[in-house]
Amino acid sequence: MSAADTADSPVATPEQLAVHADDPRYGFGIDVGGSGVKGGIVDLTTGTLVGDRFKIKTPKPASPDAVAATVAQIVAHFHWTGRVGVTLPAVVVDGVVRTAANIDKAWIGTDPYALLGTYFTASGLTVLNDADAAGLAEAKYGGNADDVDGVVIMLTLGTGIGSAILFSGGLLPNAELGHVQVGKSIAEAQASARAKEDNDWSYEQWARHLSRVLQEYEKLFSPKLFILGGGISRKAHKWIPLLTNSTPTVRATLRNTAGIVGAAMAAEAGLRP
């Protein structure tokens, strides 16, 4: 079975094929994750996808060339020639990958622009951290941060803790808040969704750990709002009311599309972390 056989949908829809890549109302984003690489056309006026997303399983190992080839498959699936935004579970600084989480360590030191440019042609390219992309999307389209005058912190609670720090719609890139030391261990070791699962904690037990981490972030950044996402946010009603930190805390609204939408936004804005 080829990688393409694992995709969500076999062909681009007529609705998607009718979109012109040079139409400024639309963008294109690809979100590279530990289990899947997914992409789609984004209506930038609403922050919604045009038709279905297209997903291919992340190659194992997730080497630079293997992932780049998968990204190129997704671009080709939509016959897209405009700007492309790509997220990585990594820190990207000055056009160089500095870390690698849930992808092969061979990414460290890679120039993703040069690499991806050998696999597909686009009118523009932006590569950024996956949590940063999700934060940009949530801040603009999620509705939670519309009237917030101050720092907003978005966290994705999953295998680790991804983070995005936003101020008045602007982004402080590559904020690895999951690696902040809280007590005797880093934040994600005690407050990620994986920590809950590995320790077989109840929501009450996990909420105590997460509250302690959020309180540490409050000391450091004095945020006006926390936005919490990740798969576990689907059951946010079971644990957000249990949190004891003082800053207002809400569930992310875009969920699985946030990375794709944020990547498309970054590409259309010409961002280059």
pLDDT of residue 10: 53
Q: Which two tokens stand for residue 217?
A: 């972030």
Beta strands 225-229 and 249-251 are: parallel
Domain membership of residue 28 (yes or no) is yes
pLDDT of residue 2: 36
pLDDT of residue 191: 97
Query: Is this model's pTM higher than 0.85 or not?
Result: yes
Cα 125 from chain centroid (whole Å): 17
pLDDT digits (tens, 9 = 90+) for 190-240: 999 999 999 999 999 999 999 999 999 999 999 999 999 988 999 999 999
Sign of CA dihedral 134, 139, 140, 142: positive
Domain membership of residue 191 (yes or no) is yes
Domain membership of residue 40 (yes or no) is yes
pLDDT of residue 240: 97
Write the CB contacts of 27 (distance below 8 Å, at least 6 apart in sequence): 41, 42, 44, 82, 83, 85, 264, 265, 267, 268
* Stretches in the chain below the pLDDT threshold 70: 1-10, 14
Q: Does one domain contain both 169 and 71? A: no
Domain membership of residue 79 (yes or no) is yes
Q: Does one domain contain both 115 and 204? A: no
pLDDT of residue 40: 96
* Three-state secondary structure of 184-247: CEEHHHHHCHHHHHHHCCCHHHHHHHHHHHHHHHHHHHCCCEEEEECHHHHHHHHCHHHCCCCC
Tell me which residue range forms the domain holding 195: 143-253
**Helix (H) or strand (E) segment spanning residue 157:** strand 151-157
Domain membership of residue 137 (yes or no) is no
pLDDT of residue 4: 43
Domain membership of residue 138 (yes or no) is no
